[in-house]
Structure 1
Amino acid sequence: MKSKLFTPYTVKNVTIKNRITMSPMCMYSSENEDGKVTDWHLTHYISRAVGQVGLIMLEATTVTRQGQISPHDLGIWSDEHVSGLSKLVAGIKAHGSTAAIQLGHAGRKAIFDGDIIAPSSIPFDESTKKPIEMSKSDIKETIDAFKQGARRAKEAGFDIIEIHGAHGYLISQFLSPLSNKRTDTYGGSKENRLTFLIEVLECVKEEWSGPIFVRISANEYHEQGNQLTDFIYYSKEMKKRGVDLIDCSSGGVVRTAINVFPGYQLKYAEAIKKEADVATGAVGMITSGLQAEEILQNNRADLIFVARELLRDPYWPRTAAKELGEEIEPPKQYGRSW
């Protein structure tokens, strides 16, 4: 029986050649704080496409300069970013991989010389800058920045957009009662805290008709924070708005110790897939082909997001295929030794 890991996955009008996804990971490699693609990005991402990863997802690419996780992360806040991103997309697709981009804004976790913004004026911790509470005008401008980011992503040729709603960054901050103390329509109840994300999604869809994923932190690891049941609700609401897949990570809203072990976040992908009836991506210490195959064969998730293991082994799909007794087509240049 053919392993499910190496079967195609179709979402809307996009078919990914296998279920292996390169999880978004910051590279801190843009020069001059300009957010532009460099030779490093071309080498890093395209080599994983050569390695036969089905879906290559770029790191959190910020929709405003003010919202960068670090001054050296990729950006999409200007039309000047499109040419470099287009070159990168072309290189990824040349080797048969699907190209995705994660659009994000760091909110109170941004590293920026000027003011930073957040749902409420609460710093991440005692060592970080205190953000300014976003006005309605700030909210409107930021939502529009996501919309313009989607437009530029389309111009650059990406196949899939993921909205970064995890790890304590801006959208995650709006969703969480730990970081959102607003009393207007963007805060208070669970329904109100979801409003910002819903408005981002609606604006993105004005520019983008392709697949949309959303990454969430399905556990905030705090008794007063969001729990899995909250994210099942959020996921149902996102599905109603046309989200195609929920990428299930965890943590990052507040500093806390997380008990990490192989597949430690899998239960979130499995529960949301079952309870919200939406496709999910599993991520978190998935390092072997057998482990990935078990997840898929038992219908616990739809895509496998591989992070650090792809840093260690750019040809991990080949490694996983050998483990599963599969043969995958090599790049013709590597045929003699694949």
Structure 2
Amino acid sequence: MTGWLPHPADTLFGPDAHAEESYGVLTVDVPAVSWTSALGTARSVLGCTFFDWLSAVDEPGTGFLVSAHLVALAPVRRLLLRTTVPHEAPVLESAVEVFAGAAWHERETHEMFGPHPDAVPALAALAPLVRSVAVITGRPAEKAVLLGGFADEPSLGHLTVLGHYGAQRWDAATGELHTPETPPGLAAARAELPAVLADAGDPPGTWTEDKGQAFAVHTRRAEDPEGAFAALRGPLAALTERHGLHLEPGRLVLEIRPPGVDKGVALIEYVQETDARAVLYAGDDLGDLAAYDAVDRLRGEGVPGLLVCSGDEVPELASRADLVVPGPGQVAALLAAIAETIRRAH
């Protein structure tokens, strides 16, 4: 047995698992197919109920090494659980079913290595065949362009990225980025935020993300993510009201941004600008509900629309979608299939 493990690693985590201990940290490596079951074992058998972080590194010639740092609290014991996925098939089952707080870590880790490998090829295949393709995101437009590699793909000449829920705009045709001035109320609210968090008890593990045209308070790393979210929602709502801003709840995140800015407004304005005759919108978070409302409105005005939900982690979104697919890879496959169908029809 290794370190504080009560049994050999392959007994606890299955065949091909192996463990080592160094500098007080117990590390267990498992095959990718055993990832979520190993996380479950760490939590239920070893008592590692605190999810600290998840990340990955690119190991040349090997694959992506994914690591999750877990902690047992009584007594305090640390476990680094690792697995490797190959470069040619960089897919791993989500840890969210075991640790709800893993969602943000998985998304941020994914973004370090860019979009799903099939996403840009699918968009590049579709873009020349339709009036326009737009990416509407809550992130800064320049970050979305960089992470997506959109500026380096010549077939995406019709692509527009609407960042900060439409407040920012980047057009592939010109490469120009348009950013509005930051509203004074946002700067005042940002300055007041530390005191608001302190008055609300400053739940351990929460952290703030500054997006320039908005800022967000995340509770995914908190000891009690849902409890911290509930405790902060009221005080942050009062903060936004004092400064004439808007509070947008997400999955264990509360975002503060200027009023009148959301994905629905951005979508309606873009459809009107491009005179689109049909719309397909795909989303995966609570912030996409406004765009779903916009598609419903467009349908009522005679513009056909299709609502696609990537994953089923947000029931408010999945229940309204016309089509629910397992994840980004399947969204890319759908777009590629649409492109092929259009190409054959012409």
TM-score, normalised relative to structure 1: 0.29
**Max Rg structure:** 2
Bigger relative contact order, structure 1 or 2, given CA contacts below 8 A and separation 6+? 1
Name the structure with the higher strand share.
Answer: 2
